[in-house]
Amino acid sequence: MNILICDPVSPKGIALLQQRPEFKVSVLTRKHSEDELLPLVGEMNALVVRSETKITRRVIEAAPRLKVVGRAGVGVDNVDVEAATQKGIVVMNTPGGNTISTAELTFSMLMSLARKIPQANQSMKAGEWNRKAYQGVELNDKTLGIIGLGRIGTEVARRALAFGMKVLAYDPYISAARAKALQIQVADLDTIYQHSDFITVHIPLTDETKGMLNTATFAKMKKGVRILNCARGGIIKEEDLAPAIQSGQVAGAALDVYETEPPPANFPLRDLPQVIMTPHLGASTTEAQDNVGIEVAEAIIDFLLTGAVRNAVNLPNLDAKTFDLVKPYLNLGEKLGRLLGQLAPKRNERLVVTYGGKATEVPTDPITRSILKGFLKPVAGDDVNYVNATVTAQTIGLVVEETKSNEETDFSEWLHVAAHSDGQSVSAAGTVFSARHYPRIVRINSQPVEIDPKGVLFLMNNKDRPGIVGHLGSLMAKYKVNIASMSLHRNAAGGQALAVLNLDSVPPAELLAELQQDPDITNIRVLQL
């Protein structure tokens, strides 16, 4: 079997692959463009990348024998996972391999910001002796605001506490009990902005987090705050950070990641002495590189030689026989999770998964992981997968419970998922229809529905009255939004009804605004499955 190492990977990982007589390992010595890769991948069974080489749909289509893509790192932004999945190619990563190295880099940057170490070093190298220019601040008794308390954020918090810092953390998904156990105070963003001497971000880049630190948020911050980003480029709006530093509102910044990497020649922060910059070094330690190199090599060896799947972002960890058994439930589970993740509050204490009918007879762990993968997507974006879903849940203090039920229902096999928060719960249930295993959502908060769980869903509650469905259809037509299917249920004549529509496109805000003017319509939600 042929394996192509596309990016620099730890020699220890490459050696593990080369030691196997079944493998022929080729190593590229420089970065290759998409066009350059196409003629090289035709005979390959496995590709190994870091962050430089992009495995695009064209590359995947040019590799008919490709079985697995291994990413020596956490993110898989440079791999077209959807195209790989469509071709039956497993995409593996190495979750957790760089947690400590990124946390240590963050804290090193924090200390450098506090004591102006890089600037003082540069001054000394230039032959100067200017002690007054590099007066810093102590960390002891200062407040560190952490935005995102996942694996890396938690490790940073532990180091800050050891230095006598007060730690505030914003994470809408972490439970109060989890934060208390870490000796961290949970706070909202405005509190963090107002009281933090240092602010560091450890969150995925999503539509919600892109540009979240900008001119408006800088203005809310304590004057003289210092800001760090060793997470993802784009969370800080770089064009807004420069004037905030120049005005003195922000005393300094330390950046390891950027919106464009490498930053362009006219990058506005490059010439500011208050800014410390490193070239995306979060995982650049010998230990981290050895860890991820060995981890990805071992995962590829196991998969190619035994069919075992681990550290996969598009498949659960299963042998082939077990996968065939649970496959019908995996898609249903992830769709239920994604639905509930958008309906439930951000902070939840428990997620209870109930298996009923024939579903009680299959291995439940991979199905629960698929539910968590969907449910936690708003928390962790594309960073959550089958492998790290349970760890991500533990990190935010979400307790996951599994139960099995012998309750008789209209369905021979079913899943029910309930998210609990502050004494309230939101729930959804689903089943699979026919031998082709079509997934269907059949209940939302105990109300019967029949929903094809894909694409755009529109939900609303309304008073059961004549003409309301026609009104809804007319407005959809007015804004050229096509209805693919509709499910409608009422609790009693003239009572409350739940309408769920599959739409061909996202309805515009103007349509939703018109609907909200009707006093009999409430709880309008638009979800993406």
Q: Which of 261, 287, 361, 510 is catalytic?
A: 261
44: how many CB neighbours lie within 10 A of its CB?
Answer: 24
The CA-CA-CA angle for residues 205, 379, 170, to 5°, reads: 85
- What is the phi/psi pair of residue 196, to 5°? -85, 135
Host H or E run for residue 166: strand 166-170
The answer to whether the CB of 276 falls within 8 A of the CB of 118 is yes
- Nearest-angstrom CA–CA distance, 377 and 527: 13
Which residues are CB-neighbours of 516 under 8 A, at least 6 positions away? 524
Q: Which of 58, 280, 310, 471 is catalytic?
A: 280
- Nearest-angstrom CA–CA distance, 71 and 313: 10
The answer to whether the CB of 250 falls within 8 A of the CB of 221 is yes
- Retrieve residue 524's tokens: 């309008």
Host H or E run for residue 176: helix 176-181
Tally the residues of the chain. 529
Give me the half-sphere count of Cα atoms (radius 13 Å) on the Cβ side of residue 384: 28
- Nearest-angstrom CA–CA distance, 91 and 47: 10
Q: Which of 50, 232, 338, 420 is catalytic?
A: 232
- Nearest-angstrom CA–CA distance, 31 and 259: 21
- Nearest-angstrom CA–CA distance, 204 and 196: 21
- Nearest-angstrom CA–CA distance, 312 and 308: 10
If 0-12 CB within 10 Å is exposed, 13-18 middle and 19+ buried, where does residue 263 land? middle
- What is the phi/psi pair of residue 403, to 5°? -135, 160
Is 261 an active-site residue?
yes
List alpha helices for 307-404, DSSP H: 320-343, 365-375, 377-380, 389-395
Which residues are CB-neighbours of 392 under 8 A, at least 6 positions away? 150, 372, 376, 379, 380, 383, 384
Sign of the C-alpha dihedral, residues 147, 148, 153, 159? positive
Q: Which residues belong to the active site?
A: 232, 261, 280
